Amino acid sequence: MSSHRRPVLAANWKMNLGPAEAESFLDGFVARYEPRDDRTVILFPSALAVAAVRQAIQPRPDLRLGVQNVSTEQKGAFTGENSAAMAAGAGASFVLVGHSERRHIFGETDVQAAQKCVRVVENGLVPVLCVGETIEQRERGETGEVVLHQLRAGVSMLNHEAIREMIVAYEPVWAIGTGRTATPQDASDVHLVLRAALAGLVGENARGIPLLYGGSVNAKNASSLLAAAEVDGLLVGGASLDPVQWAEICSSSVQRIT
């Protein structure tokens, strides 16, 4: 069984915490969070802080490392980009793909998300494919259609084995950084749709694919979201920047993935 087939608590630091800040974050966090073998904790620092985080978590193999983005290209003249091979070499095991900020601010397409998933898998890393609808799409009743389209497009170039090993994160755009969290029921409803679609692709093995919820998660609402049906973990932005709050979120009670 691969190590991520457990509830997953993932911190997306976005463009926050440089190397020195990441180090002091980790001093505070590791002092407050003891290793637990019933969950996986993943940190997604800025690419420039990956080396500092890797160094700081060396004594803590329970803490895993990921990057927030990689290029669709393997290597070459792509100024400012980082490849999946570089991410692997830098010690990352996971890569966020298709985060809504990449899609909506940087115009990343479903085709690029699919290509990035391929690069990630080719380099032995695990993609965390992010999907989620805007408020307008939700109000038009298109949530299911939007997330299914993003999911199917994102995995369209992966084989079954790679899909079985991936992670999917549902992050409604209207809940990201807004303080407006989806209810546990909202999250469950969408996670059920995603799980059914994954089952259509890989059958029974879909049960082992962690489905994370993200969007204004904090230490107060983490437990109720984690208790919701089909929610196997959390992808946390703002609240993961505070080591005390992040340690509290990582210590929430979790359900086993069956």
The answer to whether 177 contacts ligand 13P (rule: CB under 6 A) is yes
104 flagged as catalytic? no
Among 45, 237, 243, 250, binds ligand 13P (CB under 6 A): 237
Rounded to a whole number of angstroms, the minimum distance from the CB of residue 236 to ligand 13P is 5
Per-residue CA distances from 219 to 27, 30, 128, 241 (Å)? 19, 17, 22, 12
- Percent helix, strand and coil across the chain, each rounded to 5? 45, 15, 40
Instruction: Tell me which residue of 141, 146, 128 sits closest to 209, measured CA to CA.
Output: 128
The answer to whether 135 contacts ligand 13P (rule: CB under 6 A) is no
Nearer to ligand 13P, 64 or 202 (CB): 64
171 flagged as catalytic? yes
Among 137, 150, 216, 221, binds ligand 13P (CB under 6 A): 216
Nearer to ligand 13P, 202 or 249 (CB): 249
Cα separation, 243 vs 131, whole angstroms: 27
Nearer to ligand 13P, 76 or 107 (CB): 107
The pair of structure tokens assigned to 63 is 């803490």
Cα separation, 253 vs 188, whole angstroms: 17
The answer to whether 129 contacts ligand 13P (rule: CB under 6 A) is no
Among 215, 243, 250, 252, binds ligand 13P (CB under 6 A): 215
